[in-house]
């Protein structure tokens, strides 16, 4: 079974600074997808960024980028120019690329990001 580990329960960053959230995962599969989701307090979970394991290039979405290290099974999220609206719980998630199995997401325990002035 796949597992996702987020070792930082809480992180803090000053507005306009850069922060990196860590995520490691364990799998025996070679084809899979990785996601970062953001869950603001009392609001719905939204997708921040996704990465296909077969792609060597790291995904980027505006101020959000990932450092995907397949051999190390590491998938960190970098937030540049942090804004107050980035404050939320961030979840790393794994999904198998095997279309014959469930397309469920396996989530980590999350990292709570605080953004200070």
Partner 1 sequence: DTGVSQDPRHKITKRGQNVTFRCDPISEHNRLYWYRQTLGQGPEFLTYFQNEAQLEKSRLLSDRFSAERPKGSFSTLEIQRTEQGDSAMYLCASSLEGMGNQPQHFGDGTRLSIL
Per rule CB under 8 A, is residue 110 in the interface with partner 1? Answer: yes
> At its nearest, how many Å lie between partner 1 and the CB of residue 22?
15
Q: How far apart are CA 70 and CA 35, in angstroms?
A: 14
Per rule CB under 8 A, is residue 103 in the interface with partner 1? Answer: yes
Phi and psi torsions of 63, nearest 5°: -80, -5
Stretch that binds partner 1, among 16-24, 31-39, 60-68, 69-77 (CB under 8 A): 31-39
The DSSP annotation for 55-113 comes to --SPPEETTEEEEEETTTTEEEEEE-S--GGG-EEEEEEEEE--TTS----EE---EEE
Q: Give the residue, chosen from 4, 19, 66, 79, that forms a contact with partner 1 under the rule CB under 8 A.
A: 4
> At its nearest, how many Å lie between partner 1 and the CB of residue 17?
26
Contact of 42 with 34, CB cutoff 8 Å: no
Q: Give the residue, chosen from 41, 43, 72, 85, that forms a contact with partner 1 under the rule CB under 8 A.
A: 43
Contacts with partner 1 by CB under 8 A lie at 4, 31, 33, 35, 37, 43-47, 50, 52, 91, 93, 95, 97, 99, 102-110
């Amino acid at each position: 079974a796949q597992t996702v580990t987020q070792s930082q329960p809480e992180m803090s960053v000053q507005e306009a600074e850069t922060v990196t959230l860590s995520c490691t995962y364990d799998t025996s599969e070679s084809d899979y997808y990785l996601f970062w989701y953001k869950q603001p307090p009392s609001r719905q979970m939204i997708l921040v960024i996704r990465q296909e394991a077969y792609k060597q290039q790291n995904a980027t979405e505006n101020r959000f980028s990932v450092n995907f290290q397949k051999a190390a099974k590491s998938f960190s999220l970098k937030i540049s120019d942090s804004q107050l609206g980035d404050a939320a719980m961030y979840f790393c998630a794994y999904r198998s690329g095997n279309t014959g199995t469930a397309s469920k997401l396996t989530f980590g325990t999350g990292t709570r990001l605080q953004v200070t002035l």
